Every structure is written in C-alpha cells, then in structure tokens.
Structure 1
Amino acid sequence: MVLYEKAKQIDCPHFDARPDESDIDLLVIHNISLPPKQFGSSDIRKFFTGKLDPNAHPFYQHIAHIRVSAHCVIYRSGEVEQFVPFNQRAWHAGVSTFQGRHRCNDFSIGIELEGTDDLAYTQEQYQALTDVTRFIRQRYPRISLGRIVGHNDIAPGRKSDPGVAFDWARYRTAINA
C-alpha cells in the first residue's frame, strides 16, 4: 500500500484494484464542497465513505447514492485525509479521457481540494498540495508537469473543477521549487 504518512487515513469502500499499478502517470486536481459552497463539515468524509445522510441537506438527495472517492482530500486548513492508497484505483474521474486514453481512474491519482471553482484556495491548501504532489511524484516519476491536470481537462464540458480560482502558476512554481 502506498500511503502518505502525513495524512489521516480514512477507511473508504469506494475503490478497487488498478488494471496495472505500474501504469500510474497522471495526477488530477479536483474541488468539492458539501453542502455546496460551504466548508468545514464532515460531509465530504461521509460522502466518500458512503455514509452521507440524504436528508441532511436537499442537495444530498441527489448524490448520497453515488459511490465516489478520491485518493486524498485537502481541507481549507491544510489537513490531508487519505481515502484510497495511491497504488489502488479511486473512483474520482468518472467518464474521462486524457491524450486519447479513456478511463482515467485506471492510471491516475485524484486529489480533492475543499473549495469551489470561483473562491480562492487557502495558502495552507497550496502548501499541503505541494507536499502531497512531491510525495506522489517521487513514487510515480512518470507524472511530469504536463501530466498534472484539472478534472475539467479530462472531462471537458462535464466538469469545471478545480475552476478559475485555482492558481496553476503558483502551484507549478511551488512544486518545481
């Protein structure tokens, strides 16, 4: 199991084995907030562990049944929770394509930032994302800068995250420093 030692490990049922663990060469950045545009609840954790109460918020009635996960979530505070070991397949990308390859979950790692497309991410999140990215790239050197993308890049028209608020230049400069 490939685990990030600085992350809190969370048991998650929404993952399975990759077709080929040696084929990991893509990092996908996402965002999530539950309820939408609200921060600080435990609902992301509940969603990724299949424990989201559909009656807790009207929006949850539409998503509580969905089986989804990410490898890690980085909260506004910079806290990192890992839901799926990196060598396993998290269910984060959905219908997706990158450079002609379909089913990006098979060969990618998914990192969720607690946030929205149009609200700036925190300094703590950029620092934690930089640290996690460096850890991942040390273990999976085929993930070059050109293979770090947003969910919008692999599911255009269907997804918009991490959104216009994500500062790609800041992030790429930090991981290269």
Structure 2
Amino acid sequence: MNPIETMAALLAPDDSGWCGDVRRLASPNCDARPQGMEIDLLVIHNISLPPGQFGGDEIAALFTNSLDHAAHPYFEGLRGLRVSAHFLIRRDGATLQFVPAGMRAWHAGLSRFGERERCNDFSIGIELEGTDEETFTAVQYARLAALTEALARRYPLRHVAGHQHIAPERKTDPGPYFDWPAYQAACRQLPAAAALQFPTAV
C-alpha cells in the first residue's frame, strides 16, 4: 500500500458520511439530496478569505455563518451568503469537513454537468485553500488524491470536474495553476480513483 492509499484508509467515511482524520465543523448550509440520487461527481474548487490570504479561520466562519463582516471590507459583499462545501484542504494539508458526504452541500450554485443541472444534487465539493493566481502545495495534491480515493471507495463516483467546468460563465476555479495532470496521475495509481473520468481538456 502506497502512502496515499494509507492516507485514504484513514479518511474513510463512516455510515453517516463523516470522514476520519478530518476536523469536523458542521455547517447549517446543507440539506437532503433528492431521494435515490447517486453521488457520481466530484467538484474541485479554490477559496481564500480575504482573497489571496491563507491560514485564517475566515473560510470556516463563512461556511458556518459566523463570519465577522466588519473584519475586512471584502466581507461586506458576503453578508447574507449561505454556502458550504463538504471539505476544505488547507495549504498544509489539514482537512476540514463541513457537511456529511451523503448530504447536499451548497457549493456549486447554478451549474450543469453534461445534460444535468443542479450539480449540488449529485456531487461532492472539495475546496482547496488557494487562488487562481498561484500554485497549490504538494501536500494538498496528496491529500486531495487520498480523499478522492476514500470517497470513490464509498460512493459511486464516476467523474471529476472543476467549478470552472460546471459553471463556466460564472467561475474560474480551481484555475490555471491547478495541476490536473498531476492530480489525475496520482489517482491513476489508486484502486478506486483510477476509474474516474477527468475533464477532457486534461
């Protein structure tokens, strides 16, 4: 078993959809998926708050509706926003989970994958702490591949896409500095994630 497989085993979701080896911060910004809906899409995002700054608690505060909007001018534009993702992978690889994987997180917004709209219904959203203007860290890619493997073992995932692929008129993340070939190559070395389909431009 390679190191990423070992990491994936530690991240394995339990019956309620919470993963191991993560920090749990439950978000109220979630609800039930449509009855019988298969979870077959993984969506990769990036986020930083304030933009371009890393390491603070503001992302978690946003996803748990506890952001201090007076703390930074940018935050005024986020007032009233109710969003979440299932996971956040920090720059140092630390992973937070906000929504059980079986529940619907509010991460994709107005979106389409193939002929299907409302990607929140059938997807799991993973945020990487970062921006469109700089590279992500090696440990983030390792953690992302391990989390992808852990989720693919538990759920019928078939596809991976960026937010930019499912909402191209609105979103650009994870952006031009996200190394899709490296991520795909790492997944190809793993038992469950190897079967996933990646964006055709990769």
TM-score computed with the length of structure 1 as normaliser: 0.96
Match of 1:88 in 2: 103
Q: In structure 2, what is the Cα distance between the partners aligned to 1:22 and 1:138? A: 17
Match of 1:30 in 2: 45
Asked if 1 retains the 8 angstrom alpha-carbon contact of 2:41 and 2:160, the reply is: yes
Match of 1:117 in 2: 132
Q: In structure 2, what is the Cα distance between the partners aligned to 1:82 and 1:159? A: 22
SS, match of residue 73 in structure 2? coil
After the TM superposition, which residues 17-96 of structure 1 pair with which residues of structure 2 at under 5 Å, given as runs? 17-20=32-35, 22-96=37-111
Write out per-residue CA displacement over residues 10-45 of structure 1, whole angstroms, 9 at most, x where no aligned residue: 121110000035411100000000000110010000
The runs of 5 or more residues in structure 2 that have no matched partner are 1-15, 190-202
Write out per-residue CA displacement over residues 91-130 of structure 1, whole angstroms, 9 at most, x where no aligned residue: 0000000001010000000000000012100011001101
How many corresponding residue pairs?
Answer: 174
Q: Which amino acid aligns with 2:140?
A: Q
Q: In structure 1, what is the Cα distance between the partners aligned to 2:144 and 2:94? A: 10
Match of 1:153 in 2: 165
The higher radius of gyration belongs to 2
> Which structure 1 residue ranges, 4+ long, deviate > 3 Å from structure 2?
none
Q: Which amino acid aligns with 2:27?
A: C
Q: Which amino acid aligns with 2:163?
A: H
Q: In structure 1, what is the Cα distance between the partners aligned to 2:124 and 2:94? A: 18
Match of 2:23 in 1: 8
Q: In structure 1, what is the Cα distance between the partners aligned to 2:71 and 2:79? A: 10
Q: Percent identity of the aligned residues? A: 51
SS, match of residue 124 in structure 2? strand
Q: Which amino acid aligns with 1:13?
A: P
SS, match of residue 109 in structure 1? strand
Q: CA RMSD in A?
A: 0.9
Q: Which amino acid aligns with 1:163?
A: G
Q: Which amino acid aligns with 1:167?
A: D
Q: Which moved more, 1:3-12 or 1:101-110?
A: 3-12
Does residue 176 of structure 2 align to residue 176 of structure 1? no
Write out per-residue CA displacement over residues 48-105 of structure 1, whole angstroms, 9 at most, x where no aligned residue: 0000111111010001310000000000010000000000000000000000101000
Q: In structure 1, what is the Cα distance between the partners aligned to 2:36 and 2:58? A: 30
